[in-house]
Structure 1
């Protein structure tokens, strides 16, 4: 069985007039205190199209002083912003939601150009991103507190929830719009100001988002955006400054550990959505059609470049061969190319480093005895493409079973018993999400309780939803984003003791 091949249009691509228009509409400067400003010294860095390697444009390259200027703007805006009526904050988010929906086509095209996601999937992310603004627009007016009598009756307890204060938000490249709204939405709703540092690979979506929020009426200084090719030089000074009171980070566990150490200096509130190594368990009694459909969703969302992507496919021996055959057929049929081309499902990986890591992980598994059913070989340039790949017989010690793949590779191994499957699934430092396919209700409940994960997809290949709490256990992170608890990460609890009347 052979894998998909790159379409000819991708080998030489000139930007269309529409693509040039979309790029030209995005401000390429830093957004500080409501103004678009160049970086100190005029520094800039290029934004690349991963499908071609071409430079799309250049944006401002912030340094330490720019970051501290942005933090100053957030700090100075905090008092007035937290005094803003909740309904006003809610209406700003609602207007921003509508602007995202109205501009979904151009924003999807922008996203496809800068990070490679196929256009249809990019449009889906814009819709998903917008929902965070709608959800937190509704939560902004529901921040509550409490009033209670002390057990001895001698006093009363008054409980208030107040904004944490200025926040530093660090977002990844794989969901450049949704990860922005998932952090910005609750911060605005709670009454916090913020500095957003987007990933170097995908600054354009963040800049477009800042422009939309300004148009929605967000006051100057509430949201500040610093784009940079030097993240360490920009983020660390803000964390050690003393005026920031909260860090929210989505990215790798390795970087998360470093940022936690830096945040400890000023004892910042932290939210961490880190790496994953999701197991996808298929039992003998599963509906195989549903399991394969769920596997495609869990593996191929964002070309596998997602912390929630199914990494390890653990399939009960009685159905392992049939599941692998069906999955390989589906994966081999996927069209690969630049995400703007009709019918493309597999776009490029984000950069050469990402493609090289996938290549190394597959080679290590094959050297250990794994069999390639489809794909398995990186394509020559231009672009950073890797075909949809299915491996079977993956050995227990293979790197691909312990490291986040972040690519379109399904690594399958077989198990015999439920206990064996649970042990294998939990044998990782990560604990973000686990997927389970079975028609046995009792087994479903047992697995939901025994799997070490913050989220469970039960006969479902996608778990993300703005109305649900997103987050993991172990080294997959701290705190939750989304759902009713998402706003709590941006609120402090204050207790007031009052004498009995």
Structure 2
């Protein structure tokens, strides 16, 4: 039996936010078939906040079956109807944006301001793709030989498996759900085990907006790998959209290849932040604080490798260290805190180990460098004397640590920026003309010139090299969930 959606008490949300803790399959919230569950932990307090249902492999395959059964009707639903449902979901999340942010904070640990920013970014994908749903184009033309009419249409690719990470549990879900639903695809969402409550809340909002049964399904398998592999082997699954590490992406691409499943991949990054000679140091530091510390550094778009020209290096380090040392760290639920917890003590320990290794390899600690025993907190940290090619320079830090490399020649900076298997995003600060020239030389799918944030539902998000395949957002995002069909008509 389908359970009723919870009543949302916005006034008392901070004391008792409504949390869905079940799977959502074929329009029903339900426990897993074996009745198992896992703990969802508040990383700031290192305390359990919920038990979430575990999906068995049979539950995952039932979700795919439900999506397959719902596909014909949903793909035939007029684009305007799909558009209006997505717009209603946007309106719901707009009305509940503070509750939305609070749920993110409780299970992810990030600062409330970051969570509120994510909530706004996440819901905007529903608004953007509500508009894109009614704008899918095609082609109609006479063939060059004059023997036929060429008609090109776009059709929903089919059942789509969406796998999302813990660092942006809302935005990564909506960035996939919105274009898939706009295109007429049905979906199975598999969120990260660390952050299932946010995903369930988004699914609940879609349910309340009027998404039909079976169009959106939510599963949280444990262990994850075998269940995802089983779903990819299901003949109904025709699309995989994954955001996560490059290592896991490689495995999923190999599994998707068995049934030639179309795959979109938003994978790891190792973003360079290049400060050119003549750059406005104050502006560069202000940008660095956002590019590095947004989401506490736990972002694939986070500035990871700082290459600072010797002529401005000392000024940059002094001002960056001062800004980092002034950040107020503590539980994200306290809105005065600017740096929240990492998602788990395990992630905290990984960051601490990277810093310890960097120091052992010759880096100098300018500020920070401490881990908390009370929760998954790590100090805002600045390292100097970092060598290009060192361990921390080659690793996606995913934490509040800035590793600064000094350079003397711009060509050298470009070479070092490109010396990586990754190519998601880069940042360049300097005089506009020179910065733009350097941006064109950097191998990345996105380059921010004299600004710190590029993500926008209206812009194509994606990387080069081993940072991924395909694009999310913009008009390109919906095309990832559509297939072209060519029809030739005899004259």
TM tier relative to shorter chain? over 0.9
Is 2:423–2:443's contact at 8 Å kept on the other side of the alignment? yes
Corresponding residue of 2:417: 425
Q: 2:470 aligns with which of 479, 485, 500?
A: 479
TM-score, scaled relative to structure 1: 0.95
Query: Is 1:388 matched with 2:380?
Result: yes
Deviations 1:438-467 (A, max 9, x none): 1141x2332222100000000011111110
How far, CA to CA, are the matches of 2:477 and 2:334 in structure 1? Answer: 37
How far, CA to CA, are the matches of 1:408 and 1:344 in structure 2? Answer: 14
* Pairwise CA distance, 1:28: 1.2
Deviations 1:191-217 (A, max 9, x none): 000000000000000111111101000
Is 2:276–2:435's contact at 8 Å kept on the other side of the alignment? no
Corresponding residue of 2:403: 411
How far, CA to CA, are the matches of 1:132 and 1:210 in structure 2? Answer: 14
Corresponding residue of 2:327: 334
Is 2:57–2:221's contact at 8 Å kept on the other side of the alignment? no
Q: SS of 1:485's equivalent? A: helix
Query: Is 1:284 matched with 2:281?
Result: no
Corresponding residue of 2:150: 157
Alignment of 1:145-294 (within 5 A): 145-294=138-287
Is 2:381–2:400's contact at 8 Å kept on the other side of the alignment? yes
Alignment of 1:330-409 (within 5 A): 330-379=323-372, 381-409=373-401
Is 1:71–1:195's contact at 8 Å kept on the other side of the alignment? yes
Q: 2:45 aligns with which of 43, 47, 52?
A: 52
How far, CA to CA, are the matches of 1:450 and 1:397 in structure 2? Answer: 20
Deviations 1:338-366 (A, max 9, x none): 00124211111111221111111111111
How far, CA to CA, are the matches of 1:447 and 1:318 in structure 2? Answer: 18
Deviations 1:345-390 (A, max 9, x none): 11111112211111111111111111111001222x2211100000
How far, CA to CA, are the matches of 1:161 and 1:467 in structure 2? Answer: 21
* Pairwise CA distance, 1:309: 0.2
Is 1:93–1:185's contact at 8 Å kept on the other side of the alignment? yes
Corresponding residue of 2:16: 21
Q: Quick check: 227-236 or 476-485, which moved more?
A: 227-236
Corresponding residue of 2:94: 101
How far, CA to CA, are the matches of 1:231 and 1:19 in structure 2? Answer: 31
Corresponding residue of 1:464: 455
TM-score, scaled relative to structure 2: 0.97
How far, CA to CA, are the matches of 2:131 and 2:186 in structure 1? Answer: 19
* Pairwise CA distance, 1:421: 0.5
Is 2:74–2:186's contact at 8 Å kept on the other side of the alignment? yes
How far, CA to CA, are the matches of 1:118 and 1:175 in structure 2? Answer: 12
How far, CA to CA, are the matches of 1:353 and 1:262 in structure 2? Answer: 28
Count the aligned residue pairs.
481
Query: Is 1:318 matched with 2:324?
Result: no
Is 1:365–1:395's contact at 8 Å kept on the other side of the alignment? no
Is 2:367–2:383's contact at 8 Å kept on the other side of the alignment? yes
